[in-house]
């Protein structure tokens, strides 16, 4: 029986990395949550308070347990799982329309379904589809460049490539996944100009890589800046790096103004104000900086439910697929990539899930995570390593305070809109088996109660042996 359990874990552990080894993003870095648990890290609850379950230690089961620790893995029994989940699915907190799908990650066998094929508004769980499409289209190692070119005379153009994490802050991080720095770009540009004997230039900026409206259909919103090929720090105006924030109404022009100021700091004068113009076909590159890899961007998107990066990934997918980099072109490109993965039937309206016109089924989300666990698809692993960990990281950090069975074992993408609550991810069950799940609820009246109901469902899967 031990062999069965090890086989079930192989798709996630061997290729995706154990949770502690790969870890999702935390404070700008990927951190092993097993180390956090071992160190007794306190977990803030929904009120922002630390709630240790013991003196100096957070009580949580090991993140991945072998078969010997929680029982020998057996062939999954759908009847047993159905008996465990169906009473919880009747919780009124889940609203008038809800669905569920649970799959064995190793075998791809569906263990449970409840209205699983019905299209529902996914909210931010649509980011799983966006991320999978981007990884398929671009590859996990792809990076997005922001460049400066000269098109003759005394003019230069800052050309946006579509990297919303480009930063104008002093600290861009360290290591291979550090953010691209606008200051470094200005410094390199100044060196190149001075080498040409130029110490004064006109500055333009080019956002032509993207097309269509920049404003999301929901309008101006603190959850998302206007979608532009050129922006710094996601257009945030308050110094934050996640969550809601006041945003620039013209992130491209603001980025160009900052760049011009940084050039002046480097001893290169600028003439007039910055202007929007397209770089010529024969423009010569002077300098460039690169974003973190698509894999790293996917992980950050999923861990913190980052809407700006999600929309950028959708547009990069469009560009790689020969589509126009607009909301419509990105929707077509993401849909095509899902179809190629054998996951048809999605209705995609945006990359972030803020648009209620998005429609996917619980079955599609759960099967998408099975695809990410398949040994033959290592490029999709960031879908798994980027999932928040219950009670420890990202959007699940403040949840699972009362669902100890799921804490540390549930890894899931959250989704929340008014009246919509969703959860899709992976969990290690009581027999050491890795399963994928998606729970979707529409028509909910109390978001907190709906989230608790979803957490109970995932925790029940963790606590269940899945036997009839």
Do the bridges between strand 97-104 and strand 200-206 make them parallel or antiparallel, or are there none, so unpaired?
unpaired
pLDDT of residue 436: 98
- The active-site residue, picked from 99, 181, 291, 305, is 305
CA quadruple 394, 228, 381, 360: dihedral sign: positive
Token representation of residue 346: 């999605």
305 catalytic? Reply is yes
- The active-site residue, picked from 127, 183, 258, 413, is 127
Torsion angle, alpha carbons of 141, 35, 383, 180, to 10: -40
262 alpha carbon, distance to own chain's centre: 31
Strand partners, 439: 100, 423
Token representation of residue 180: 């691209």
pLDDT of residue 77: 59
pLDDT of residue 215: 97
pLDDT of residue 466: 59
127 catalytic? Reply is yes
pLDDT of residue 96: 94
Question: Which residues of the chain carry a pLDDT beneath 70?
Answer: 1-78, 466-468
The total number of residues shown for the chain amounts to: 468
442 catalytic? Reply is no
pLDDT of residue 67: 36
Token representation of residue 306: 């980052």
Contacts of 195 (CB under 8 A, 6+ apart): none
The pTM is what? 0.86
pLDDT of residue 401: 86
């Amino acid at each position: 029986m031990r062999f069965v359990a090890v086989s079930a874990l192989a798709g996630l552990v061997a290729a995706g990395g154990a949770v502690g080894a790969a870890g999702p993003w935390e404070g700008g870095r990927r951190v092993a949550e097993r180390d956090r648990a071992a160190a007794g890290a306190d977990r803030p609850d929904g009120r922002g308070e630390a709630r240790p379950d013991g003196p100096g230690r957070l009580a949580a089961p090991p993140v991945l347990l072998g078969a010997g620790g929680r029982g020998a893995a057996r062939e999954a029994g759908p009847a047993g799982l159905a008996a465990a989940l169906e009473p919880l699915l009747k919780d009124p907190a889940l609203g008038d329309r809800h669905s569920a799908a649970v799959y064995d990650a190793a075998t791809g066998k569906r263990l449970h379904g409840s209205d699983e094929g019905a299209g529902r508004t996914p909210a931010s769980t649509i980011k799983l589809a966006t991320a999978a499409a981007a990884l398929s289209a671009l590859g996990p190692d792809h990076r997005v460049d922001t460049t400066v070119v000269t098109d003759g005379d005394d003019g230069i153009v800052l050309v946006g490539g579509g990297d919303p994490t480009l930063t104008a802050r002093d600290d861009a991080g360290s290591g291979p996944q550090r953010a691209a720095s606008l200051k470094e770009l200005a410094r390199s540009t100044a060196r190149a100009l001075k080498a040409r004997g130029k110490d004064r230039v006109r500055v333009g900026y080019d956002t032509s890589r993207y097309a269509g409206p920049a404003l999301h259909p929901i309008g101006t919103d603190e959850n998302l800046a206007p979608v532009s090929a050129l922006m710094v720090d996601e257009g945030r105006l308050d110094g934050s790096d996640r969550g809601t924030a006041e945003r620039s109404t013209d992130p491209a022009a603001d980025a160009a103004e900052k760049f011009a100021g940084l050039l002046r700091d480097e001893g290169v004068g600028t003439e007039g104000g910055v202007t929007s113009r397209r770089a010529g076909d024969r423009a010569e590159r002077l300098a460039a900086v690169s974003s973190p890899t698509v894999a790293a961007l996917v992980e950050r998107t999923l861990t913190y439910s980052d809407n700006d990066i999600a929309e950028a990934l959708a547009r990069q997918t469009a560009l790689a697929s020969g589509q126009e980099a607009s909301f419509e072109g990105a929707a077509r490109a993401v849909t095509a990539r899902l179809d190629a993965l054998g996951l048809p039937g999605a209705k995609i309206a945006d990359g972030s899930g803020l648009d209620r016109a998005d429609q996917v089924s619980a079955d599609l989300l759960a099967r998408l995570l099975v695809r990410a666990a398949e040994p033959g698809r290592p490029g999709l692993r960031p879908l798994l390593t980027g999932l928040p960990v219950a009670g420890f990281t990202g959007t699940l950090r403040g949840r699972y305070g009362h669902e100890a069975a799921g804490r540390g074992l549930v890894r899931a993408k959250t989704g929340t809109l008014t009246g919509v609550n969703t959860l899709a991810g992976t969990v290690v069950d009581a027999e050491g088996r890795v399963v994928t799940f998606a729970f979707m609820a529409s028509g909910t009246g109390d978001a907190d109660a709906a989230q608790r109901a979803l957490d109970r469902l995932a925790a029940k899967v963790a606590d269940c042996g899945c036997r009839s």
